[in-house]
Chain A
Amino acid sequence: MPLPSQPTDARRPRAMVIDGAWRALGPDLESLSGPGGAPLTRTVKLIVLPLIVRPALHPDFAVDFLAPEPAARLDALIRESGARLVATAQWFTLLKRTRRALGVVAGHPQDLYFQRCFELAAEHGEPAAGAGALARAVVEEVADADGGRTVDALKRYLADAAQQARLEGELAVAWEGRLSVPAADTAAAVALAGEVLEACGGAEGPRNSPSYMSMVEAGHGELLGRALWVHACGVWGRGDLPAHLGLTKRQLPPRPEVGRGASTATLPAPLDRTLFERLFVVLQSSARREELPTVPELVGREVGRSCAPLGLYDESLRVAVLLGGQLAVGLDPLGIGEPAPGHTAAHRAVNSRWRREASVLRARRMTVSPRPDPDGGVLDALAQDLRTPWTAYMRRLWVRLHGRDVRDAPLVDAASAWAVLDGVARSVMMDHRARVRSALRTLSASAAPTAVPEAAVVAEAAESRSA
C-alpha cells in the first residue's frame, strides 16, 4: 500500500520543524541543547512551545503535523527569536553558576529558571555588567518564593499547645457534626461510574461522558464517603471488599487528630492521617508552593476538609474517588484473572498497560512470581500487593486529589478525571518497578532478608506535584 502523501510535499512533524530551526541557530545554544545539538525536551516544553510557538495564539501550530506554509512560518518564528534564545542560554549558564555558588540545591534548575532566563533575555539582552548581581537576586528570589509555606512553618504553627487544643476542639465539633443520615444505596452511583469508565480509555481516546457531570450534581462521591462512615459492604459488587478499599486500615475512618510530626516512610493510610501528615505531604512535594494558601489558612481549611466525606471538599474530586475505586477493583496487574463483568474500556486500557509492563519486566529480569510463594519473602509481598491493587491505587489517587483540593482545582469534565485516573495507574506501575528494583538490590547486597524501603510511600511525597 502506498503512503497517502510523500513527506516532501505534505505535512511534516512539528518536532522536526522545531529541531531544524533550532539547529540552524548555531552552536551558541549549548546550555539549552542536548549533547547532539537538539533542543532539550524541557527547552521545547518550557520555552519554545509556550513562549515562542504559542499554539494558543496560533491554532495552526497546535498540531503534531504541519502543512508546508505553517511549517515555514514556524521555522521563521524560531529563527527570529535567535538572538533572544542565545541570550537566554547565557543567562541560564550564569544562573546555574550563581546557584552553585550560593549553595542552592533544591529544585530542578531548568524548571526553576528557564522561563526567568527568557524574560531576562528580553529585558536585558545578553548578560552584561551587573548581570552577576541580577542573577544572584533572581536565584534568591526563586529560592524564597515559597513565602514561608514550608513543613518547618507548619511544625512551628502546630507546636503551640493552645493552638493544638483549639484545633482538637474544632475537629471534635466538625466530626460530631457530620451528616449522620444513613447512606443511600450506592449501586446506581457505581453503575454510572461504569458508564463513565467505558467512555474513557477507548481506542479513539477518551470521550466525555455526560454521566460524569450528573454524578457530580447528584453528589455520588459524597454518597460513597458517607458509606465509608457506616462501613457499608458490597459497594464494589464484591462482598470481600470493604467500601474504603484500604483508604483506612480500620473498619471506619477515625476522627482525624492534629498531630505534630510525620515521616515519609511511615505515613498511615490516607484517612488515618493526622492534619499534620495530610499537609506535610502537600508542603513537602509542591513545586509551586507560592500558589498555596498560607500555613494558617491551610490548617484552618484542613480541619473541615478532614471531616468531610472522603477527606475532600470538592464533589468532583470525590466522584473521582468513586471512579478510581471502580477502576481499581477490576485491575489485574499479574494478568491472571478472568475477564470479569463490569470491566470497561478504562479497565482494558490499564490492564493492557500492565501486560506491556510485565513483558518489559521479564525482559529486564525483574519478575515477581505470579502465584503465591510461601518462601518468596519480600518479593512475594510485592506480588501480594499486585493481587490487591486497589490499596496502592487508592492511596496514590487520594493524595493526588487531596493536592488538587488544597489548590482549589476541581476536575471539570470526564476527560480531566480520566487524565488523573490514568496518571495514577502509571504511577502505581512505576512504584511497583521501583520496589522490585529495591528488593532485588537488597537481596543481592546482603542475602539477609531485610525490609524493603517502601518506595511507594517515598514516591507518594512527589504526588501532589502533579496535582
Chain B
Amino acid sequence: MTRASVEVQVARGDDGTVRVAGPGVGPDFTRAVLDVAGAVLTWPVLEDPVPPSAEIHDVARAQQWLWAVYGEGVAVAVQACATGELSDVRVPADMTPLAGGAARLGFGHWAARWWPASYLDGIPALQPDVLGLELVALTHECQQLFDDERDQPDDCVGELIGDHQVALDPLLQWWHATPPSTDTARRLERVLRAVDDAADSTESDGEALRRLRWSLAQPRPDSAPVAVDPVALFVRHDDYALAAGEPLVAGGRVIARGAGTNDWRRYPPGFVDAAETAVSWTARALGARRQIEVEVVAHIAAPTTSGPLLVAEVGVDGVRASRVPLARRDDVWSGRADLDLSAGETRPRIEIGVLLPGFDPGPGSEGGADRDAIRALARRRLATAAQPFASNTSAYDGSSGPFLAEIAAATTDEDY
C-alpha cells in the first residue's frame, strides 16, 4: 500500500514524549490538528499533503495506529526512541490510506473553524451541517486512530451526528437528484452509508437516522434525477444582503479614516467577515470632541443581537487605549466612542482590532500574508469543487478532492 515515501525525523524529547517531525508550521490558523490515541497529529494546511507531525505522549497506545499511518519503519523507530535505544533518527515514512484519511479529517475540522467565508472577498461559507456529516463519515473511516480511553475529543461521532443530523434529509435528496455515475453521487452515497454505519455502532438514534437507514435499504429511485440546487436544500436563513445600513447619525467633520486589523484568532468563527478590509474606522471632530466610529462587516451567518458582544480595541499613537463595544446593525457590527486626542492632533495614528472579550488570546503576530494564503487556498479549492468531473481520481481513497460542503458552496447561484 506504499505509494510514495518521504523521510521524517523521529526524536525523543526530555519529557518522554516522542516526536515525529514533519515540516514546520505557521500561525494557529494554518495548522490542522487531530487528537488521536496517545498523540496529537498536526498538518500545515498551506502545504502539499505530507505525513503529519506527531507529538506522542503515550507510545503504547499509539502503536495501535503508527504502523498504519506512517508504515512499519516509523513504528519501529518510535519504539526504539521510547525505549531509549535511539534518541534521534530519520526514517522513510509511507503515504498510507490511513494517513490520507487522517489528513482529510484534520482538514475538515480545520475548515469548520477557519474557512475564510467572506462576502467582500466572494468566498462563500461552508454549510456547517453538511461539513459536520462528512466529518462523521471520515471519523468512522479513521476509527483505527481512536481507542476507548475517552480522552480523544475528536472521537466524537455521536456528538457530530446529534449536532448535524438536520442535514441528513437534504443530503438524501441531493443524492437522489444527482446522476449516479457522477463523482458527487458516489461521494454522497459514501458519506451517507458511513454515517449510517457509524450511527449503528454508537448509541445514536432518531427519526432522521431511521429514514436514512430505510432509504439506504431501498433500491435507488430510478426516476430521472431532477436537478436540484444543493445550496437551496441547506438554506437556513442566509438571506444576506450587504445593505449600507443607515449611517450612524454622527455629524461632525471627518478628520481621519482607515482600516483596522482583522485577526481571525481573536474572535470565534461565524462572527466577522474574513476579508482583510472588513474592519474600518472613521474619526470625527464635533466641536472640541473627537469621536471614533468603528464598523466591522459581519460574517454571513453572524448572530443577530441587540446588545454588544464584540468589541473594538482602539489604540492611539501606540497606546492601547480603550474598548468600543460593537452592536450588530444589519450587516455590520458598529460602535462609537469618544477619543481622547490632544488638541491640535490632526493625524493620529490609530490602530483598531476586533475581538470577543473572554475569547481573545491576545494580539498575535502579524498574519496578513498567511491570511491571504488561506484565502487563495479556499478559492483554489472552490474552483476545483465547481468542476465535479475534474477530480475523478480519488473517489474511493477519500484523502483528497473537495468536501460536499465545498461542492455545495461552489455551485451556489448566489451573487458572490
Nearest A residue to B98, CB-CB: A36
CB closest chain-A residue, reference B113: A365
Question: How far is A375 from B90 in the complex, measured between Cα atoms in Å?
Answer: 49
Pick from A104-112, A141-149, A250-258, A273-281 the stretch touching chain B.
A104-112
Which residues of B, 46-96, contact A by the 8 Å Cβ criterion? 55, 57, 60, 63-68, 72-73, 75-77, 79-80, 85-86, 88-91
List of B residues within 8 angstroms of A440 by Cβ: 268, 359
CB distance from B94 to the nearest CB of A (A): 11
B146 on the interface (CB 8 Å rule)? yes
- Within 8 Å CB of B311, what residues of A? 375
Q: Chain B contacts of A379 at CB under 8 A?
A: 356-359
Instruction: Check if B144 is an interface residue, CB within 8 A of chain A.
Output: yes
On whether A364 and B113 interact (CB within 8 A), knowing A15-B67, A376-B358, A380-B357, the answer reads yes
> A45–B268 contact, CB under 8 A?
no
> Which of B72, B305, B306, B357 interacts with A13 by CB under 8 Å?
B72
CB distance from B232 to the nearest CB of A (A): 23
Taking A7-B73, A447-B305 as contacts, is the C-beta distance between A376 and B357 under 8 angstroms? yes
Q: Please give, as numbers and ranges, the residues of chain B lying within 8 Å of A34 by CB-CB distance.
A: 140-141, 143-144
The reply to whether B361 and A367 form a contact with Cβ atoms under 8 Å apart is yes
Bound-state CA distance A42–B198 (Å) is 13
B304: contacting residue among A40, A353, A371, A447, CB under 8 A: A447
Stretch at the interface among A321-329, A355-363, A388-396: A355-363
B202 in the interface (beta carbon within 8 A) = yes
B14 part of interface (Cβ distance < 8 Å): yes
Asked if B303 contacts A369 (CB within 8 A), the reply is no
How close is B195's CB to chain A, nearest CB, in angstroms? 11
Flag whether B307 is at the interface (Cβ < 8 A): yes
Which residues B323-355 have CB closer than 8 A to chain A? 323, 328
Kindly state the separation between the CA atoms of A368 and B202 in the bound complex, as whole angstroms. 31
Q: State whether the Cβ of A5 lies closer than 8 Å to any Cβ in chain B.
A: yes
Is B187 part of the binding interface, using a Cβ–Cβ cutoff of 8 Å? Answer: no
A451 close to B (CB within 8 Å): no
Chain A residues with CB below 8 A from B328, complex form? 447
Most buried by A among B65, B110, B153: B153
A41 B148 Cβ-Cβ under 8 A: yes
CB contact under 8 A between A202 and B16, given known A363-B32, A367-B361, A443-B309 = yes
| Contact between B64 and A377, CB atoms less than 8 A apart | no
Q: Return chain A residues, CB-CB under 8 Å to B356.
A: 379, 443
The answer to whether B270 touches A41, judged by C-beta atoms less than 8 angstroms apart, is: no
B65 touches A15 (CB 8 A): yes
Residues of B within 8 A of A7 (CB): 72-73, 76
Residues of B within 8 A of A434 (CB): 153
Instruction: Tell me if B312 is interfacial: C-beta within 8 Å of chain A.
Output: no
Interface presence of A260 (CB below 8 A): no
A34 to B68, CA, bound (A): 14
Segment 429-467 of A: residues with Cβ below 8 Å from B: 429-430, 433-434, 440, 443-449, 462, 466
Of the four ranges (under 10, 10 to 19, 20 to 34, 35 or more), the interface on chain B belongs to: 35 or more
Contact between A42 and B148, CB atoms less than 8 A apart: yes
In the complex the two chains form, is A446's CB within 8 Å of B303's CB? yes
Q: How far is the CA of A149 from the CA of B382 in the complex (A)?
A: 55
Residue count of chain A within 8 Å CB distance of chain B: 79
Who on chain A is nearest to B270 by CB?
A: A444
Which residues of chain A from 319 to 362 have a CB within 8 Å of any chain B CB? 348-349, 352-353, 356, 359-360, 362
Name the CB-closest residue of A to B200: A96
**B89 & A448 in contact (Cβ 8 Å cutoff):** no
A13 to B70 Cα, complex, angstroms: 12
A203 within 8 A of B: yes
Q: Is B379 an interface residue (CB 8 A)?
A: no
Instruction: Kindly provide the distance from the CB of A55 to the nearest chain B CB, expressed in whole angstroms.
Output: 13
Given A35-B194, A430-B150, are A378 and B358 also a contact pair (CB < 8 Å)? yes
| B223 touches A (CB below 8 Å) | no
Partner among B14, B64, B114, B197 whose Cβ is within 8 Å of the Cβ of A35: B197
A-chain residues with CB within 8 Å of residue B66 when the two chains form the complex: 13
Name the B residues within 8 Å of A109 (CB-CB): 200-201
Are A36 and B147 in contact, with the CB atoms below 8 A? no
Using known A-B contacts A356-B55, A362-B265, determine if residue A65 contacts B68 with beta carbons closer than 8 Å. no
| B370 touches A (CB below 8 Å) | no
B303 touches A364 (CB 8 A): no
Contacts A16-B75, A35-B194, A65-B79 given: A466-B357 contact, CB under 8 Å? no
Partner of B63, one of A4, A15, A383: A15
Annotate A77-110 by CB proximity to B: 1 below 8 A, 0 otherwise: 0000000000000000000100000000111111
Q: How far is the CA of A446 from the CA of B303 in the complex (A)?
A: 6
Are A363 and B31 in contact, with the CB atoms below 8 A?
A: yes
The 3 closest A-B pairs by CB, nearest first: A376-B358, A447-B305, A379-B358
Enumerate 6 A-B pairs (CB-CB under 8 Å) in ascending A order. A13-B63, A15-B68, A35-B197, A360-B40, A374-B357, A376-B357
> Beyond A7-B72, A11-B76, A45-B148: 12 further Cβ-contacts under 8 Å?
A3-B91, A41-B146, A44-B64, A202-B16, A360-B35, A363-B32, A364-B109, A366-B113, A377-B357, A430-B153, A433-B153, A448-B307
Interface set of B (CB-CB < 8 Å, partner A)? 14-17, 28-29, 31-33, 35, 40, 42, 55, 57, 60, 63-68, 72-73, 75-77, 79-80, 85-86, 88-91, 97-98, 101, 109-110, 113-114, 140-141, 143-144, 146-151, 153, 194, 197, 200-203, 205, 264-265, 268-271, 303-307, 309, 311, 323, 328, 356-362
